[in-house]
Structure 1
Amino acid sequence: MVGGFPRKEGMERKDVMSKNVSIYKAQASAFEHHAAPDCKVLVVANPANTNALILKEFAPSIPEKNISCLTRLDHNRALGQISERLNVHVNDAKNVIIWGNHSSTQYPDVNHATVTTSSGPKSVRELVANDNWLNTEFITTVQQRGAAIIQARKLSSALSAASSACDHIHDWVLGTPKGTWVSMGVYSDGSYGIQPGLVYSFPVTCEKGEWSIVQGLKIDEISRAKMDATAKELIEEKSLAYSCLN
């Protein structure tokens, strides 16, 4: 689902909310009347998480597990930053996490990420050996990449978003490699203390066309605060979206 009112330079996400709510309510009605209930839906148009939530609310015959939104673009950008910093092939880095909203509050988390080396997998934090960079510039670069592209080309991401959408669907349908997870915006079931009823980006593995949230990852205090901050924004977006429906 790439159709939506586009964010333009100088616009905040909330500026486009009311327009996208009406678009996704109408598209949900079309899904409800005409789509197969086992179809898989990927929402790309921003605000992607809340657009996906509206689609889910107004297409109740489609299971919530079949509706997701794109945070793979941010996931790929995070891997790209790591590979560039360490001068390794991007395919050798894995298991970063994008938590939360596809917005500037998202939290790119490398605490569980590894890089394959000649002596086996090693922690990204150990290899980078610069917590200050990982906790500041790395995070803001991933968070602000979309805005930087809009500033540069006066339009939002195109080819990188398309490539990431292909990656998202590929792994959702065909499965993730063993020991590897990816980031997807999915309907929260309460995992990691995230309020149910939000479409939130989690680390997931995929098998036989189904995604599952990776469980049991240790969350430190810094991560907890950042995960809660992006959840708070999604709660506010949800409230704003519902107010636009009245």
Structure 2
Amino acid sequence: MLEESDFDVNKPATFVHSDDEDAYVSTTNNDILMMIMIVLLLVMETVGAHLRLDASCVDGAIIWGNSWGVHFLPDLYHATVTLPETLARLRERKQPARKVVADDVWLKKDLHQQMVKQQNLQRVSKPARFNLSQSTAIIKHIHDLWHGTEPDKAVSMAVFSDGSYDVPSGLMFTMPTVCKDRSWKIKQLPIDAFVELSIKRIVREIETETKRVMKVWEEEERAYTSLKTQD
């Protein structure tokens, strides 16, 4: 069950390494919740723009990995695109997203790159839009956590892994989850070889990043202890 302490903004911060070797961004648990949904909204916008459709036409995308920065994978394996009536014609309006996009290079490489660029653009040059995205993200996340997710529908959430998808137990990792009775559970979905290999790569990157951050943290702690001893 979810407890109030699970969303304590005073809990120790986690750290995400930026493109600058010496720059680190501190994020609280609330930031983690916001970033996942912002990235999910961003993949809908990016796919929609690529297809020249509204973002609301895209549904069911999954985010794997970290919720911000570059260590994530937008996955459209289970996503659908609802086509306008003028485009659907004799076909069903709701089609598999990968079939509609029909471009593996864009799905496996360009989509991620475009999302990373858009993240940076929104944070630096469009702060108002970024703040609006944060507000929307909070609303959607708390709604799912409190009221539950739609039947048989998974949403992307950063949770502590239970070993699913070969993600080490205890590692915080964004995965498909379902919420019911104010508790969450990782949903088991079929994944293709590309997603499986990407998850393994992202796990290695996050673990490497974590070790680097812990090393910096330990060095700063030793320096602080040394200064206190001298005083």
TM-score normalised per structure 2: 0.73
Cα distance change, pair 139–73 in 1 and its aligned pair in 2 (3 A): same
CA deviation vs aligned residue, 1:63-82 (integer Å, no higher than 9, x gap): xxxxx674111111111222
- Match for residue 229 of structure 1 among 201, 212, 217: 201
What runs of 5+ residues in structure 2 fail to find an aligned partner?
1-8, 86-91, 222-231
Number of residue pairs matched? Answer: 201
| 1:16 and 2:27 aligned | no
| RMSD of aligned residue pairs (Cα, Å) | 3.3
1:136 deviates by 2.2
Q: For 1:142, which of 102, 106, 115 is the aligned residue?
A: 115
Higher relative contact order (CA 8 A, sep 6+): 1
> Could you tell me which residue of structure 2 aligns to residue 175 of structure 1?
148
- What TM-score do the two structures reach when normalised by structure 1? 0.69
CA distance in 2, matches of 1:158, 1:13: 26
Partner secondary structure for residue 176 of structure 2:
strand
Larger Rg: 2
Matched, 1:114 2:80: yes
Mark the runs of 5 or more structure 1 residues left unpaired by the alignment: 25-41, 49-67
2:41 paired residue number: 76
Distance in 1 separating the partners of 2:76 and 2:117: 17
CA gap 1:12/1:188 in 2 versus in 1, 3 angstroms: farther
CA offsets, 1:124-180, max 9 Å, x none?
011112222222221212233322223425899322122112211111111112232
Letter in 2 for 1:43: N
Once the two structures are superposed, the pairs formed by residues 19-168 of structure 1 within 5 Å of their partners are 20=26, 42-44=29-31, 48=32, 70-102=35-67, 103-117=69-83, 119=92, 121-153=94-126, 157-168=130-141
User: 3-state DSSP class of the match of 2:23?
Assistant: helix
SS at match of 1:133: helix
Q: Percent identity?
A: 22
Give the AA of the match of 1:147. Answer: N
